[in-house]
Structure 1
């Protein structure tokens, strides 16, 4: 029987859900689960952002929900790897993480404006996870 993959990888990917993905110079944070403002304390969940506040917004601001969706699919793929290596294609998981990082970066660029610094922390974290856990898989997929 095939051995499942190392559970530390799945735990590391799950931890990204709680890390800020975009940090603004105003002290606001974008997480995979929502937007948080601490002065005053206010949280906008991802469903509220999608279904209440985004009517008429430019498409580049929808890149954050796309990044979250790609990330969640990657976590689901990694979770399947816990049942056995044949349940997960690690190239897909790594590619999804890389694409999620790119989508988060596009969101951060769309939010930046003069006088507001937006730092794409999530892009760096997602790309680092793709590189750390999946570089050899991605390299084999891109350069056989």
Structure 2
């Protein structure tokens, strides 16, 4: 277990960060006022109860849909890349992760989820882009200094 110059345990902080990133899977990324939810893993419809997984959405239901509705799978891909980066940094070693990349992937994933939510709102649905809020909060909480140093060096 290594210590950073501030005297905190890097490994325990890394595990907490990784668990927080993984927790974004449990948050609905887009919430509709109709009671339907979009998660990283699928769509959940409340009335009647039905689940459409992300692979079904991609390979069965996307034929003929506008491209903006593909922003959700792109957001999930960017999120998974961020989780993979954080996993390498936490479990293998900090040399294996560039935290600026991890933070940037979270910001881009949040932006892609926002684009998806706005695309769904175009159809007349009122939505809450809670995934964008969650991903940007994670980027700010764990990676603000990394992103700040990358952008304003």
Give the TM bin, normalised by the shorter chain: over 0.9
Could you tell me how far 1:116 is from its partner in structure 2? 2.0
Identify if the C-alpha distance between structure 1 residues 118 and 69 changes in structure 2 by more than 3 Å, giving closer, same or farther: same
1:124 aligns with 2:126: no
| Stretches of structure 2 lacking an aligned partner (at least 5 in a row) | 3-9
| Count of aligned positions | 144
1:8 aligns with 2:16: yes
Picking from 37, 41, 53, the partner of 1:45 is 53
2-structure distance, mates of 1:115, 1:132: 33
| Stretches of structure 1 lacking an aligned partner (at least 5 in a row) | none
Secondary structure of the residue aligned to 1:14 is helix
1-structure distance, mates of 2:94, 2:129: 32
**Aligned positions of 1:16-55 closer than 5 A:** 16-55=24-63
1-structure distance, mates of 2:66, 2:126: 19
Superposed CA deviations along residues 30-89 of structure 1, whole A, max 9, x for unmatched, are: 000000012111000000000000011111000000000000000000000112110100
Ranges of 4+ aligned residues in structure 1 off by more than 6 Å: none
Identify if the C-alpha distance between structure 1 residues 54 and 114 changes in structure 2 by more than 3 Å, giving closer, same or farther: closer
Aligned to 1:70: 78
**Over aligned residues, Cα RMSD in angstroms?**
1.3
2-structure distance, mates of 1:107, 1:6: 30
Greater relative contact order (Cα 8 A, min sep 6): structure 1 or 2?
1
